[in-house]
Structure 1
């Protein structure tokens, strides 16, 4: 049994008041939760993959780091104070919590302490690694833990690569392997469909660079790959608040949607980022937010938004922060977007400073005729900088670098395309069918 003393500390000791960058407000953990620094340190210690998963539980934001789990009361956004909550000195990648009981996955290259368990709200902990877990170099590690929202003793684990998925129905006392699927290059996501918990999804990228979305519809008895795209990775999935059939996935410069519980998927947007997270506004599921990391060198942080249930997307907010490296995770809490960056710590964006339900400017952009044949018009009350055209597979087809609204389509074959329209108010995507 190991013990540590919980600490309450302002994590930026010389900071006397909050710093604001534009409309995003910094609330701490820039040094403590720097993901890129953590990845470099862990790589030198034989750990190849580290993408920590943040959570909001009972008004607290929890952030796993290489020094344990920090948490912050979200009713105190006017300070940069955080509590070093659990597992001090241990690199944590993900965790689940039942009242005072915490089970955490570590980023340790070992056959021990892959899992830790605390039954006193993080004051003490013990090694909880099952002997049955695979240990093949780094392959026994757990990258994600998912908890059944309707039966919190049922837990699914996503292992790295050869380990596949394991399932426990008694909060980790006993485990059973659930599939033989081998990811191996990037394994990112596992979770229960909250509207049908017999349905579990497991996503990432295979060793030959094809994305995968694996799914079971019978509590893990059988699994199938419901989507796989070349040169792509599926990072996460967002479930509709109450409709089991509607699901949105986030990946490398691509957002996709399913309306039949993940059996088939349709691309709904191409964006210039690797999208790590997409979330629903649970009060209004027509509104979604997505964000990630710009592919290539950029100091821009962008948040994309949909107001039609995920069918089309535009840039909702953009801010430049020097030496930034993208956004790993976002949450929606009390009309605020909580933003966890890769190197700059945690921020929030107050949506009350925006008219988030005003979609007038989107409707002022018109693409017609649609379906189209030999030509199409793009019209807007805002200045159009350029229009980029992508095919359904996400391949770039053409860019129109002029403000003219007439686009000749004679060179394009029949099919579904995405027009990414760069305007003075941001990027807006539209689906276009060419006959």
Structure 2
């Protein structure tokens, strides 16, 4: 087979790129190692920035999002048994975020791609990306028991940190910067209506907690837990009791979450990672293949979307005029935004979580920082601007 753009990975970034290219008249092939059912039920992020929403609408995938997405104009911070709301529109000139689960984004994009887009192969295991520094790189993969090769003008790796595409960038050229955190998240899906209409981030001596949602009937909840925690050791009752304890308020001692059936539990390690450069020859990296952020700042899916929006524009310019100026600038353009998002995610993570080894002095510094956000419009605006999304350029 031959195509203009070979896309390795059928997650949200790979699928969004394929749709944007289709709209620009550029052909592509998407290769996804997992089956469709697995991809469509993977639980991941749920917060979309305005730029991500705009890109999904431009790709023709905004219909169900407009009907079912939940607009959020702020978040609530709880600390020292107090609550403070950060209002996004007033601090950012009108920007906001949407709650719409990554699983739903993926379902929408898959349906569009299969209905009117280029080839999308599930169960296509990529073994190698060869010839990155040549005019025609080749993707070698297995599909339905047969070996195949896909010759491309350009290859985009959207297959995650452990994917094959990263290895197309030679080790002597590639640099990876990483940080691991001494705690994880216990994530819970529950058939329980959210008790609050916006996300609630809690700092407490017992550890971090987050109350989010997937719909008006389904809550998505998180607890800070030690690394290596087995979710089976947390009973439903223990989870609800611990969440209530961490969200406790002196001003409203009776405040409690709505309880319901817990339908899923998983433990998510917290880490940061950036691989540079994000382009080598005719191979480009996007999303988790190039960078990972802890989920505290809601940046992972949005960073991946930003990468492919920038890349789609660059490929569009090349397709229309033959200019490679934007393609040559891709890595630098994306990395500026990536590192800003890494810094924000690090700030949110280290400010809200309790490090197992932290001192009382460290805790007081965290509370001081949170109090500054609550009392300084400048500090609140910086948080709101980063949370709702920085410019793509």
- What's the TM-score bracket when you normalise by the shorter of the two chains? under 0.3
Which structure has more strand as a fraction of its residues? 1
TM-score, normalized by length of structure 2?
A: 0.23
TM-score, normalized by length of structure 1?
A: 0.22
- Higher RCO structure, 1 or 2 (CA under 8 Å, sep 6+): 2
Which structure has more helix as a fraction of its residues? 2
